A and B are shown apart, each in its own frame.
Chain A
Amino acid sequence: MTDTPLHLGKSYPRRDALEKVTGQAQYVADTDLPNLTHGRIVRSPHLHARILRIETAEALAVPGVIAVLTHADIPGAKIYGDLLPDRPVLASDKVRFMGEPVAIVVAKTRQAADEAHKRVQVTYEPLPAVIDPFAAAQPDAPQVHENGNVLSHFTVCHGDTAQGLAQADLILEETFHVPRVYPAYLETEASQAVLNPNGTLTVWVSSQKPFHDRHHIAAAVNLPEEQVQVCVAAIGGAFGGKEDANMPVLAGLAAYCTRGAVRLVNSREESMLAHPKRHSGQLHYRLGAKQDGTITAVEITTHLDTGAYASYGPAVGQLLTEVAAGPYRIPHVRSETFVVYTNAPIAGAMRGFGAPQANFAIESLVDTLAHRLGLDPLEVRRRNIWRPGDFNFTRVRVNQAESTSLALETAAQEVARLKALPASPGKKAGVGMAMALQTMGLGWGVPDDSTNRLEWQPDGQVLLRIGAPDLGQGLNIAAAQITAEALGVDLSQVEVAPINTLLSPDGGVTCASRMTYMVGNSSMLAAVRLIDMLKEEGARLLGVQPDQLEYRGGQLLRLDQPHLPPIPAAEITSRLAEEGRALHSTATFSFPYGPEIPTDLGIGMPHVLFCLGAQVMRVEVDSELGSVEVTHATAVHDVGRVINRAALEGQVEGGLAMGMGFALSEDMILKANGQWVDGLAEYVLPTAMDIPGEVKIILLEQPESSGPYGAKGIGEAVTAPTAAAVANAVFAATGVRVHAAPIRPEMLIRPA
């Protein structure tokens, strides 16, 4: 390792950037196949209904139609799911949400498929539906599944909250509501598949987890996994929403059953209805504190709306349970979470995975506490935040707990700076802040590995095969930088291969703020191995002992004969190629859990690495209209070590914008006419015009000892605190405490 880094911290442009902005990138929908046919999914128009009959004759009669597939046509597993197999590939007896796939029409043209999909006649008997998680958890609620609506229930206790609350001078009891947020990637879900002449299946996906997809596709069509090849196309955003095998499975099924090539591309409406959202729900808090602001206890009861099928709901519930008390040393904590089935769209993984919801509640509540005690919110946080050596209430020692106070004090300076700015005429200005708390990794007991492979090619280029895709966040460039750093070579010498399950190692799912950390670590291990192998092969070919060679910057130096010119790696690898051999190494990094980790909380809990930070927002609220403008935002995040500065800043800006949507405008609601908001005219995403005029990014670099060059995750921590910081700023400006996101102007003005 060199002292001055070659590549770390540099803003190398992402290699896919130019392709994407010039329209060259090959998304699933751009990848043409010979004799391509088109699928169109027939979806449930009901929230909840029994299927009495499916008639396909009229659809089959449409010219160009090749097949209409229903559950009866599925040769293999008819049900799938990553955590819990509860999701029908195609609905059979019942539909449980609006947009649920019931059949697939395959036709020679997209037009014929569109036309025929309207002619598949499904006879439904509508059933009572429930779309509120609290109501759904009650015994008399309509039953979404046979075994009751409470999908999972977690309680983590620490200390004795009754005792803690008894010690309090003040007890706050408040309920918060959080919205159903759509990930809103530019590229809707798409997949295409072809059944090859040899009976194997090739499937192109826009997915966060190609190897899981392969598993579910193979099961559905009854092929061994080795006979299913999954290729990852360019991905136009994912944010957790593409941890859903639905489209890959349906495309694979359609190609298999029609013995051809089939493309499936969702419309925006289909994407909104039928693919995972961030969980909406309600969070009930009882928090006790002393007069001086010291929190003595907190009791939390959360009901999350997981929609009709499990997806990643239980895991989201676990993560929320763990972070619901915030980055605070609270002696008595009880955190209880119900993940509840409803007839709403499926909720699953989405950026933050439970943390944004919890953060909105706890960080709003801490501000309320300060207000009620007549204290500065910063002071209340100072009194309660984690200190070095602290354990959280799941009995995990907090990594770099000192970054909590570092982030808080950095934010405090920003609060002071922004408070000094005068309000515009007719506006009320306010500054608010919130701490960021996000976990990294999949949680104890969940297999959490990253395997990567390095191939030193005869031409001297190093090919990096990552096992989990870059979703657009810049994973590939970060991984290339870390690899080039570890090998001491020029960045242009490292190439990242596209993912293909035949050639790439299985790297699991791109998720959980874990990629730079996991892929980085595994690439570094693979690089060390590759260097050793190069020395070994070099020694053999040169007829010297390996210890007579020293590796430096992509070359071997002869220690025995220092006057000889260094030998480039390409010389060794090309000679190996002549022997029909290749130089490659594979390494697996597994998420580290120390022996002292509590293992009694259940698989998936606890998480042991935390991403810490704080955000500060300044808002101006129109006194008469209640409209909120975020004028300034400061994001303070401990990232361990910056790998690619531009990509990192992109994550912060994008994450903050996403957090602003959650705070101010995004909610997928059921309209008075019984239809969901399912288009981008009514589902209001922030645009460039809504982003604060000043976005200041302050990156703290407190190295994570287990991270590659000290790096840790950032992808989610940037979204978690935004909504609470906005809500706290709105309170500072108006004196109105909102308990629900998104904050609507009507909440902030007295009725006419």
Chain B
Amino acid sequence: MQTFNYLRPAHLDELCQALQQPHAKIVAGGTDVLPQMHTGRLQPALLVDISRVSELEGIRIHNTQVEIGALTTFAAIQAHPTLRAAAPALTQAAQWVGAPMTRQRATLGGNLANASPAADAVPPLMIYNAEVTLTSAKGSRSLPLAQFLLGPGQTALQRGEFIQSVRFELPAEDLGSAFLKIGPRRGMTIAIVSAAAAVRLSPEGRLEQVRVAVGASAPTVIRCPQTENLLHGQLPSAELWQSAAQQIAVEISPIDDVRASRAYRRRAAGVLAVRALQAALSQAQEAAQARTV
């Protein structure tokens, strides 16, 4: 590892200032940054450690608005009772990140900014229609997550900007949601494919508000709008799920790598997305039943 300068701002304004410096590289939990520095892929001249900027921490819920600070760890997300009840796909994704040690350090902001197509927090946040708040010395702006993620390792972050928080509307009780992931092993594993889905049931039992996001199957995590349209307004059936799986396979553009082949990813993405939909559906059904009782 080569030498670098190091700053550790304690407040937002100091952070804004530090990021004015040329070649500043943010480090939060360091679980992506340090391995990249170790291999020499990343050679920062200045590391700005944001781990003490307390304004970036914490999960805040006002009425139905959720705001998760960029520094929030997956351990904290995983343990949050309101999220667990109302946004279970995010909780499930958090549980899948690395191992317990990783989750104590890995932050939500780092997961988004690292922009891996396999990042576990992204599919659930996509189906909750999350926006990221980006801040710099000049002020703040908000972007839908899909517009923030531009490609593998590429984001809309501009020089001097950092992720302050992630916001989304707490899903209504009758919106079921779920996250699933497969990797080469059962823990501490990078996704071969991941999927998150949300769905609501109309009083007639039709699928509504269908949302599907698939990870590790395209340059970024993607929503699958055609699959969502295909499912919208339909009564669930075996044939419907089958055509959804086929549609998913068409909408994604996976690659071959050491973890799996493109053909396998196509097939697995369909299977996993449908399973996530089914899990979301049974949750929605439970919510509907609870209401009628």
Q: Which residues of A contact B (CB under 8 A)?
A: 111, 114-115, 624-625, 627, 629, 665, 669, 671-672, 677, 679, 681-682, 684-690, 744-746, 749, 751-752
If A686-B185, A689-B188 are given as contacts, then 6 extra A-B residue pairs at C-beta distance below 8 Å, sorted by A number, are A624-B271, A669-B258, A677-B258, A687-B186, A688-B187, A690-B185
Pairwise interchain contact B258-A627, C-beta atoms closer than 8 A: no
Contacts of B249 in A (CB 8 A): 752
B190 CB to nearest A CB, Å: 7
Instruction: Output the least CB separation between A360 and chain B (Å).
Output: 20
User: How many Å lie between the Cα of A41 and that of B173 in the bound state?
Assistant: 60
User: Which B residues are within 8 Å of any A CB, using their own CB?
Assistant: 1-3, 35, 39, 99, 182, 184-190, 249, 256, 258-261, 263-264, 266-268, 270-272
Judge whether B264 and A745 touch: CB under 8 Å. Answer: yes
B268 and A625 contact, CB distance less than 8 A: yes
Q: How far is the CA of A749 from the CA of B261 in the complex (A)?
A: 13
Known: A624-B271, A625-B268. A690 touches B186 (CB 8 A): yes
What are 14 A-B interface contacts by the 8 Å CB criterion? A111-B1, A115-B2, A624-B271, A625-B271, A627-B182, A677-B258, A681-B190, A684-B189, A687-B99, A687-B186, A687-B187, A745-B260, A746-B261, A752-B266
Alpha-carbon distance between A671 and B249 when the two chains are bound, in angstroms? 25
**With A677-B258, A749-B267 known to touch, is A689 a contact of B186 (CB < 8 Å)?**
yes
Across-interface contacts of B270 in A (CB, < 8 A): 752
A residues near B264, Cβ cutoff 8 Å: 745-746, 752
- Set of chain A residues within 8 Å of B190, measured between Cβ atoms: 681
CB-defined contacts of A690 to chain B, threshold 8 Å: 185-187
In the complex with contacts A625-B271, A752-B249, A746-B185 CB distance below 8 A: no
CB distance from B40 to the nearest CB of A (A): 9
Cβ contacts under 8 Å, B259 to chain A: 682
B residues less than 8 Å from A689 (CB atoms): 185-188
* CB neighbours of B266 from chain A (8 A): 752
Alpha-carbon distance between A687 and B271 when the two chains are bound, in angstroms: 25
Instruction: Please indicate the chain B residues that have their CB under 8 angstroms from the CB of A625 in the complex.
Output: 182, 268, 271-272
If the complex has contacts A749-B267, A752-B266, are A684 and B260 also in contact, measured as CB distance less than 8 A?
Answer: no
B185 A752 Cβ-Cβ under 8 A: no
Report how far A523 CA is from B233 CA in the complex, Å. 79
- Among residues of A, the one whose C-beta sits closest to the C-beta of B99 is A687
Q: Are B263 and A752 in contact (CB under 8 A)?
A: yes
B187 touches A752 (CB 8 A): no
Specify which of B1, B39, B99, B267 is in contact with A752 (CB 8 Å cutoff).
Answer: B267
Interface centre among B3, B187, B268 (most CB of A within 10 A): B268
A671 with B258: CB separation less than 8 A: yes
Compute how far the CA of A686 lies from the CA of B267 in the bound complex, rounded to whole angstroms.
24
* Smallest CB separation, B14 vs chain A (Å): 29
Task: Please list the 10 inter-chain residue pairs (A to B) with the smallest Cβ-Cβ separation, ordered nearest first.
Answer: A689-B187, A752-B267, A689-B186, A684-B184, A624-B271, A746-B264, A690-B186, A682-B258, A690-B185, A687-B188
Quick check: B186 and A629 within 8 Å, CB to CB?
Answer: yes
The answer for the CA separation of A114 and B264 in the assembled complex, in Å, is 40
Complex Cα distance, B272 from A181, in Å, reads 30
A686 to B185 Cα, complex, angstroms? 7
Residues of A contacting B263 in the complex (Cβ-Cβ under 8 angstroms): 746, 751-752
Nearest CB in chain B: distance from A677 CB, A:
6
Q: A624-B271, A625-B268 are in contact. Are A746 and B260 (CB under 8 A)?
A: yes
A544 to B35, CA, bound (A): 72
The complex places the Cα of A669 from the Cα of B266 at a distance, in Å, of 23
A residues within 8 A CB of B182? 625, 627
Closest-CB distance, A578 to chain B (whole angstroms): 56
B99: A residues at CB distance < 8 A: 687
Instruction: Flag if A665 contacts B185 (CB, 8 Å).
Output: yes
